[in-house]
């Protein structure tokens, strides 16, 4: 009797999941790349990717973008051969104007970007040269050795310290349509989390850009860092050496045929390292800005897999015969 019990138990064991597991016989899906599967997968990829690509391309095309390089034009002709001395010479006026012609209707909000090229914000020395603690807690926070060589000046700490803040972009732009000044909204251009949690509300610039070494822009010492959105945007470092950063928003539509005059102060030195400066006006849609690459890539990958599917099918059928 006990034997039959143990037999039954054993049979029960044999069906249990644990037994199947130890015997490596768990129910399993065993996919095999058989020709029908291969062809199906490739057709599927093709039939999804091509429409997605086309759709994305259309979205990209619907974005209106005006881009204008100004770092060359804004240098007076006598300085064209030595742009570095032009930019470093304080006595030379740096104002300059650009003319934008609107070819397509641009719906508000229109985003204003400045674009720098060949500027290594992602250089390791540069990236590290900041103190998140100081940005949040102010100058009472010590231990800003990462900020070297811009940790302190005249034995007093610099707030915000470090290379990134020091090299703050300081070109300024004003936009005029016809006779009227276009209103540019320069708030909310930084990420909210940065404003709220990375830059202190009670931290004010201190001892910033007043020594012998002047880098980029200056900061108003009466405005707390969390409201210095230009700084916040600048300190969110770029991924690659050419990048755009948000400058502001024009909150009026621009019509076809409008002319926009940009009055700018060309203060920022990109000449010594051969960088470019551009000003970009762009609308946006669900996809973001204008970039055909993604759409083209989708179409390319989709159509390639269709090709592979067809080639595979033909080869398969031929060798079957």
Q: What gap in Å lies between CA 300 and CA 321, rounded to an integer?
A: 32
What are the residues whose beta carbons fall under 8 Å from the beta carbon of 22, sequence distance 6 or more?
Answer: none
In DSSP terms, 265 is beta-bridged to 95, 172
> In whole angstroms, how close is the CB of 285 to another protein at the nearest point?
7
Cα(first)–Cα(last) distance of the chain, in Å?
63
Tokens at residue 258, please? 């409008």
> In whole angstroms, how close is the CB of 70 to another protein at the nearest point?
18
> In whole angstroms, how close is the CB of 213 to another protein at the nearest point?
8
- Cα of 308 vs its chain's centroid, Å: 35
Q: Near another protein by CB under 8 A, which window of 99-107, 203-211, 217-225, 286-294?
A: 286-294
* Total interface residues for another protein by CB under 8 A: 87
User: Is the distance from CB of 280 to CB of 64 less than 8 angstroms?
Assistant: no
- Cα of 23 vs its chain's centroid, Å: 52
Q: Which is nearer to another protein, 108 or 178 (CB)?
A: 108
Of 54, 92, 96, 136, which one interacts with another protein (CB under 8 A)?
A: 136
**Does the footprint of another protein cover residue 291 (CB under 8 A)?**
yes
Of 184, 261, 308, 310, which one interacts with another protein (CB under 8 A)?
A: 308
Residue 242, phi-psi category: left (phi > 0), alpha (psi -120 to 50), beta (remainder): beta
Collapse the DSSP code of 280 into the 3-class scheme (helix H, G, I; strand E, B; otherwise coil) and give the result: strand
Q: Near another protein by CB under 8 A, which window of 94-102, 130-138, 221-229, 256-264?
A: 130-138
Q: What gap in Å lies between CA 118 and CA 269, rounded to an integer?
A: 12
What are the residues whose beta carbons fall under 8 Å from the beta carbon of 62, sequence distance 6 or more?
Answer: 285
**Does the footprint of another protein cover residue 224 (CB under 8 A)?**
no
**Does the footprint of another protein cover residue 297 (CB under 8 A)?**
yes
**Does the footprint of another protein cover residue 38 (CB under 8 A)?**
yes
Of 79, 133, 265, 303, which one interacts with another protein (CB under 8 A)?
A: 133
Q: Near another protein by CB under 8 A, which window of 176-184, 221-229, 257-265, 307-315?
A: 307-315
**Does the footprint of another protein cover residue 287 (CB under 8 A)?**
yes
Of 1, 28, 99, 180, which one interacts with another protein (CB under 8 A)?
A: 28
């Amino acid at each position: 009797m006990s034997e039959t019990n143990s037999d039954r138990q054993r049979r029960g064991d044999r069906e249990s999941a644990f037994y199947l597991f130890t015997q490596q016989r768990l129910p399993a899906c065993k996919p095999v790349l058989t020709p029908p599967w291969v062809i199906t997968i490739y057709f599927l990829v093709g039939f999804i990717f091509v429409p997605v690509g086309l759709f994305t391309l259309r979205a990209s095309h619907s974005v209106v973008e005006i881009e204008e390089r100004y770092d060359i034009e804004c240098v007076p002709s006598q300085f064209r051969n030595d742009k570095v001395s032009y930019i470093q010479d304080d006595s030379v006026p740096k104002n300059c104007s650009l003319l934008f012609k609107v070819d397509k209707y641009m719906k508000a909000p229109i985003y204003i970007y400045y674009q720098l090229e060949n500027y290594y914000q992602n250089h390791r020395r540069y990236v590290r040269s900041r103190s998140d603690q100081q940005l949040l807690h102010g100058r009472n926070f010590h231990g800003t050795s990462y900020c070297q060589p811009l940790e302190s000046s005249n034995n007093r700490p610099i707030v915000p310290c470090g290379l990134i803040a020091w090299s703050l972009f300081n070109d300024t732009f004003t936009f005029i349509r016809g006779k009227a000044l276009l209103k540019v909204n320069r708030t909310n251009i930084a990420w909210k989390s940065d404003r709220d949690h990375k830059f202190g509300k009670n931290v004010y610039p201190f001892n910033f850009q007043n020594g012998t070494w002047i880098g980029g822009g200056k900061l108003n010492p009466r405005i707390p860092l969390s409201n210095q959105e230009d700084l916040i945007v600048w300190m969110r470092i770029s991924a690659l050496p050419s990048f755009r950063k948000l400058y502001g928003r024009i909150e009026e539509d621009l019509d076809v045929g409008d002319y926009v005059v940009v009055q700018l102060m060309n203060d920022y030195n990109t000449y010594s390292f051969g960088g470019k400066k551009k000003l970009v006006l762009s609308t946006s849609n669900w996809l973001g800005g204008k970039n055909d690459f993604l759409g083209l890539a989708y179409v390319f990958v989709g159509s390639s897999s269709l090709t592979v599917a067809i080639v595979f099918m033909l080869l398969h059928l031929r060798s079957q015969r």
